Amino acid sequence: MKKKTVSGVIKDLQRILIDEKAIEKRIREMAAEISAECTGKVVTVVALMDGSLFFVADLLRRIDLPIKLVTLCASSYHGTKSTGKLTVNWPANISFKDETVLLLDDILDTGLTLSEIRAHIESHQPAWLRCGVLLSKRRERAREVTSEYIGFEIEDEFVVGYGMDYNGRFRNLPCIGVLQLDSAD
Ligand code: 5GP
Ligand code: MG
């Protein structure tokens, strides 16, 4: 692997799609919207790791409410493609009964991840359940699912940065960009 700095990696992106400032601004807006809608509640946030790590860390620090955080590891991607199969590490004694639940993921793509996890949480009879994603791809979904909070709509292309990876790399880029696949070494 060639030695590179983060700014060197950013220069090698095909294109920066959303810069750090725009992400920060949009997350503040989303946090204000969620805080207003859930006033007076304790919010159970279910965050899908690893992709939503940075989004969740920044969003939650701006939500002006008490929060209980549950993290789940969910994966369905291999390289730049969805495998169509989802694996989730559900903890044994999980319960969402009568809770105010906010399910967060980095990106809505085929819809498989959010639809399966949303349905599972719904089966635990929460009092309130909404989804939030930083990005939503404009494409046909394999599974219908609603995300009530969306940071940005993007075209159907593979993105990295701000938590999102390509084979485990690029998560620590402060911006979101499109990868030049031949420079991903
Ligand atoms: P879905 O289940 O909706 O197809 O995909 C959701 C998951 O696939 C996301 O949580 C994310 O981990 C991964 N994913 C989908 N599109 C992209 C993308 O463009 N870049 C990266 N890095 N991951 C993606
Ligand atoms: Mg994911």
Show pLDDT as tens, one digit a residue, over the chain (185 residues): 567 899 988 888 899 999 999 999 999 999 999 999 999 999 999 999 999 999 999 999 999 999 999 999 998 877 788 788 889 999 888 999 999 999 999 999 999 999 999 999 999 999 999 999 999 999 999 899 999 999 999 999 999 999 999 989 999 999 999 988 776 65
Q: How far is the CA of 113 from the centre of ligand 2 (A)?
A: 8
- Give the integer Cα–Cα distance in Å for 144 and 115: 7
Select from 72, 73, 78 the least CA-distant residue to 101: 72
Q: Point out the ligand 1 atom lying closest to the alpha carbon of residue 52.
A: 10
Select from 145, 65, 156 the least CA-distant residue to 105: 145
- End-to-end Cα, the chain, rounded Å: 6
- Does residue 135 line the site of ligand 1, with CB under 6 A? no
| Residues classed as catalytic | 109
The protein residue whose alpha carbon is closest to atom 15 in ligand 1 is: 109
DSSP label of 80 = T
- Does residue 113 line the site of ligand 1, with CB under 6 A? yes
Q: How far is the CA of 131 from the centre of ligand 2 (A)?
A: 14
Q: How far is the CA of 48 from the centre of ligand 2 (A)?
A: 6
Q: In 3-state terms, the chain is what percent helix, strand and coil (to 5)?
A: 25, 35, 40
- Does residue 34 line the site of ligand 1, with CB under 6 A? no
Q: Point out the ligand 1 atom lying closest to the alpha carbon of residue 164.
A: 22
